[in-house]
A and B are shown apart, each in its own frame.
Chain A
Amino acid sequence: MDDRVIIRFNHVTKQYDDDLPVLDDVSFDIERGKFYTLLGPSGCGKTTILRLIAGFIEPTKGDIYFHGQRINHVPSNKRRVNTVFQDYALFPHLNVFENVAFGLRIKKIPKADIERKVKEALRFVNLEGYEQRAIHEMSGGQRQRVAIARAIVNEPDVLLLDEPLSALDLKLRTEMQYELRELQRRLGITFIFVTHDQEEALAMSDEIFVLNKGKIEQRGTPKDIYDEPVNRFVADFIGESNIIVGTMIDDFVVEFANQQFTCVDYGFSKNEQVDIVIRPEDLELTTAELGKLRVRVDSVLFRGVHYELCCYDAYGNEWLVHSTKKAEIGEEIGLHFEPEAIHVMKRSGGE
């Protein structure tokens, strides 16, 4: 086994009673020192993966390896993994210091060392001087830092984060994204972060796993996933997209909206039905004569950084355009795009 692999899932399935499996025959490797994000809609199985790694639940089928050893039945208190919970799960009867010291006290570490390590961990999350505070006196953002300090003070090999930012307001959330990323770099340990927010995933991760219905749809760097989604689900989930059906005429030639366009994709069979993705920000406004596509503006929305235009072509396809230029409703305009902007995907069954 590769030395850098820290966690390995081997055909893991998790199923409750006779329901559909929440996790369906999933295999992957997690390497040390990287920031991973499990991304997907609610019920896709991302939290299940986290709970399997933490040891709160056991797989129905398949094996989980940690440092090359099978850990299917190892209880969570014997795993070198710590979790930051979605609701933080701080102990309400203990103050900040005792919450952070909880894990160390169980390991029966000398008092002076506990004192030092707790102080250090609190300094790490910028909470010096809050030791004696009660949990209910802390704000949401501070609680979150306490939860992180409580986890990292145990020096785990892997830190699991279960949607830790979802309870924070937008500004604080963006701030914490930076801080978490920074923290991961400084600590150099593996982070596995669960979220349903694609922006969060793109901003923070070394690698993203996009999950849907208990299966991994795609894994890759944020850029891979954004630029080369493998199917309609990923393209749709990872950002606002124009997804339409087209036909691959030949290598580098695709047809959609009753026109043929040059593209950079190849390796499909001739006249294969495909899904075409063009990101709204890759579409440029021009006059109707100059555009590659001719569309009519249906609605215009001011989004601050850009205008969001919803347009329809002559064949009823909807085109979403992000542009700094404004257009009038009902106006006929042209859309220009580069061959690289066309992403061709195999049609996934039924989707």
Chain B
Amino acid sequence: MRRYAYAVPYWLWIALFVIAPIILIVYYSFFDIEGRFSLVNYETFFTPVYLRMTVNSFWYAFLITACSLLIAYPTAYLLTKTKHKQLWLLLIILPTWVNLLLKAYAFLGLFGTYGAVNALLEAIGIGTKQLLFTDFSFVFVSVYIFIPFMILPIFNALEKLNHSLIDAARDLGASEWTTFRRVIFPLTLDGVKAGCQAVFIPSLSLFMLTRLIAGNRVITLGTAVEQHFLVTQNWGMGATIAVFLMIAMAGIMAITGNKKWGVRQ
């Protein structure tokens, strides 16, 4: 019985901070702005405005994930080959300890009209450009923020990879590229999936960056949730969008779920 006693705090936590909020969100989603029980929020969600917003969210989340992966995989691969792995890894993890807002404000300074980047562009003769409040800067900053979460699982997967498998592939006639394509990548796919989950799911509901960096030019589901709860006070609609976000996340988890290769010996 002692064993169950130790689990009590855990279950309390889960009940209070996971299960109860989900039930509350689902409950709120069935009330319209007047506080009457109705399904009007769900009808509204399937109007073009919200559907476009959904597509937008997925598109940006996809862009951010794809860019992160493209940068993170080679980085992680090079990391496993360097001498002072742990030091480099620490340098990559370090920015995640800084608050997201602080990083966003830092980019406001860097990308601003009189910021460092524009000063550099001016100096090399390209001239001042509008950097802030563009799609580009939104994706760029998001990728910057999420990249450590992509690098870590891939790095771990590469580290775990048995090096004699690479020797074996080379021994059987595979070129470096074929070895990567047929052995290294398939065997680190679990790390890639974990990284994609860690980036795609949070970027689906990003809201702070959309305002600070993208200047509300990018409106995602996350922004809409924030607006409904804090500005229009339409909690029902905000909760409904949150329900759909949760369904989407569950779906992504299911798709990228880990399939184990059995016992490695």
Residue A89 interfacial (CB < 8 Å):
yes
CA distance A86 to B165 in the complex (A): 11
CA distance A76 to B179 in the complex (A): 12
CA distance A75 to B175 in the complex (A): 9
Instruction: Report the minimal beta-carbon distance from A293 to chain B, rounded to whole angstroms.
Output: 51
Measured between beta carbons, the chain A residues less than 8 angstroms from B187 are: 91-93
- CB pair B172–A82 under 8 Å, yes or no, is yes
Residues of B in contact, count (CB < 8 Å): 22
CA distance A85 to B172 in the complex (A): 12
Measured between beta carbons, the chain B residues less than 8 angstroms from A77 are: 170-175
Measured between beta carbons, the chain A residues less than 8 angstroms from B183 are: 91
- CB pair A89–B261 under 8 Å, yes or no, is no
- CB pair A87–B164 under 8 Å, yes or no, is yes
A/B pair count, beta carbons within 8 Å: 70
Residue B99 interfacial (CB < 8 Å):
no
CA distance A85 to B170 in the complex (A): 13
Q: Which of A86-138 contact B (CB under 8 A)?
A: 86-87, 89-93, 102-103, 106-107, 134-137
Residue A323 interfacial (CB < 8 Å):
no
Residue B208 interfacial (CB < 8 Å):
no
- CB pair A82–B263 under 8 Å, yes or no, is no
Residue B186 interfacial (CB < 8 Å):
yes
CA distance A96 to B211 in the complex (A): 54
CA distance A106 to B182 in the complex (A): 10
- CB pair A107–B173 under 8 Å, yes or no, is yes
Instruction: Report the minimal beta-carbon distance from B191 to chain A, rounded to whole angstroms.
Output: 13
CB contact under 8 A between A56 and B263, given known A87-B164, A93-B186: no
How many A residues are at the interface, by size bracket? 20 to 34
- CB pair A102–B169 under 8 Å, yes or no, is yes
CA distance A93 to B181 in the complex (A): 13
Instruction: Report the minimal beta-carbon distance from B25 to chain A, rounded to whole angstroms.
Output: 40
Measured between beta carbons, the chain B residues less than 8 angstroms from A92 are: 187, 261-262, 264
Residue A54 interfacial (CB < 8 Å):
yes
Residue B258 interfacial (CB < 8 Å):
no
- CB pair A136–B172 under 8 Å, yes or no, is no
Instruction: Report the minimal beta-carbon distance from B172 to chain A, rounded to whole angstroms.
Output: 4
Closest to B262 in A: A136
Residue B167 interfacial (CB < 8 Å):
yes
Measured between beta carbons, the chain A residues less than 8 angstroms from B171 are: 54, 56, 76-77, 81-83
Measured between beta carbons, the chain B residues less than 8 angstroms from A81 are: 171
Measured between beta carbons, the chain B residues less than 8 angstroms from A76 are: 167, 170-171
11 contacts between A and B (CB under 8 A): A55-B170, A56-B170, A76-B167, A77-B171, A83-B167, A89-B165, A91-B169, A93-B187, A135-B262, A143-B265, A154-B173
Known: A83-B167, A89-B167. 6 other contacts (CB 8 A): A54-B167, A55-B170, A92-B264, A93-B186, A93-B187, A103-B173
Give the interface of A toward B (CB within 8 A).
Answer: 54-56, 75-77, 81-83, 85-87, 89-93, 102-103, 106-107, 134-137, 143, 150, 154
- Smallest CB-CB A-B distances: 6 pairs: A136-B262, A103-B172, A89-B168, A89-B164, A76-B170, A92-B261
